[in-house]
Structure 1
Amino acid sequence: MTDTFTGGWSVFTATMLLIVAACNIVQGIVAVVAPTAFVTGSGRVLLLNLVSWGVLLAAWGLVMLAAAGALIGGQAWTRLLACVLAGVNVLFQLGFVIAVPTWALVVVALDVVVIYGLAVGWPREEAAAGYLAGRADAATGRAAAGGSAEERAPGRPLTEEPGRPATGGAPPPRP
């Protein structure tokens, strides 16, 4: 039985994404329930009024919450999704800088931490597996591309012609 526990950077990043999602949900609910809590001259944030922006932000927080759950589950595709969500959330929060500058900048900082964790904090085994995924020619050389069916020896270049002796990349001897 294999241990599927996800640990280290992946748990840290997923936890930070959960915190950002919770911040968005709380911020969205406050904008809907008590729009006067935000100080704006016109009662608008970017193109929408505070209530509409609050609904959008709360829904966005729920999407981020689902992505954090999938990230904790260890799904590889969620790393890219969570990175995109955190990047878009930076733009959402920059829209709120007028109304609540400190809160918005703290959430932007958390988004940057999430993006950092997603970009650099992953085990080398996962990176190597991702790099070799889909590389059918890694062990067979030209056979996977329709060439000869002979097995490629380690260190033998992929550019050699089938049936010719392995020269290790050196030019053929002169007659």
Structure 2
Amino acid sequence: MADGVTGPGRSRPQTVERAFAGGWTTFAAIMLLIGGILAVLEGIAAILNDDLVVVTRSYTFSWSTTGWGWIHLILGVVLVLAGTALFSGAVWARVVGVIVAGLGMIANFVWLPHYPFWATVLIVIDAFVIWALCAGTTKELT
């Protein structure tokens, strides 16, 4: 029985090698952590110092700067948690990462008139995260 066959029609159980996270998943996790930390800092800045953020008049999504700060602070914490979960390599963490990165893109698009540089940087980071999570190989997913 050197070939591992244990009887007629039976073969040795296959082992699935599973790394804690593949290359693109690790990249996405790190980018989510960076984007989440930046969103937390953006939220804290908007909450503590309303004068730091430019408020545009006659903007469709005109909310209070403090309200936006809380949205970014909470979203940033969720982004950091999703990035941390991605290091496990679990498929559910990839799905959550795509959803949370998409929500981050939407929030930062609406935030563009208030802080264009930070919002643009975070939109790009979230786009890279979504791409990296969706471009993962099937080996990473098994």
- The TM-score normalised by the length of structure 1 is 0.65
**Quick check: 1:87–1:115 contact (8 Å CA) kept in 2?**
yes
Distance 1:111 1:3, change over 3 A: closer
C-alpha deviation, 1:73, in angstroms: 1.7
- Structure 2 distance, partners of 1:56, 1:102, is 18
Q: How does 1:3-152 map to 2 (within 5 A)?
A: 4-42=19-57, 46-120=61-135, 122-127=136-141, 129=142
C-alpha deviation, 1:123, in angstroms: 3.0
Can you list the C-alpha shifts for 1:64-115, whole angstroms capped at 9, x where unaligned? 1111111112221111111011111111001111111121111101111001
Name the % identity: 28
Question: Whose radius of gyration is greater, 1 or 2?
Answer: 1
Name segments (4+ residues, structure 1) moved above 6 Å: none
**Structure 2 residue aligned with 1:166:** none
C-alpha deviation, 1:45, in angstroms: 8.3
- Structure 2 distance, partners of 1:41, 1:58, is 21
- Structure 1 distance, partners of 2:92, 2:56, is 42
Flag the structure with higher helix content. Answer: 2
- Structure 2 distance, partners of 1:49, 1:56, is 11
Unaligned 5+ segments in structure 2 are 1-16
Can you list the C-alpha shifts for 1:11-31, whole angstroms capped at 9, x where unaligned? 111000101101110000000
Q: How many residues of Structure 1 are paired with residues of Structure 2 in the alignment?
A: 125
- Corresponding letter in the other structure for 1:53: W
Of the two structures, which has the highest relative contact order with CA contacts closer than 8 Å and spacing of 6 or more? 2
- Structure 2 distance, partners of 1:3, 1:125, is 8
- Corresponding letter in the other structure for 2:68: W
Question: CA RMSD for the aligned pairs?
Answer: 1.9
- Corresponding letter in the other structure for 1:62: V
**Quick check: 1:14–1:71 contact (8 Å CA) kept in 2?**
yes
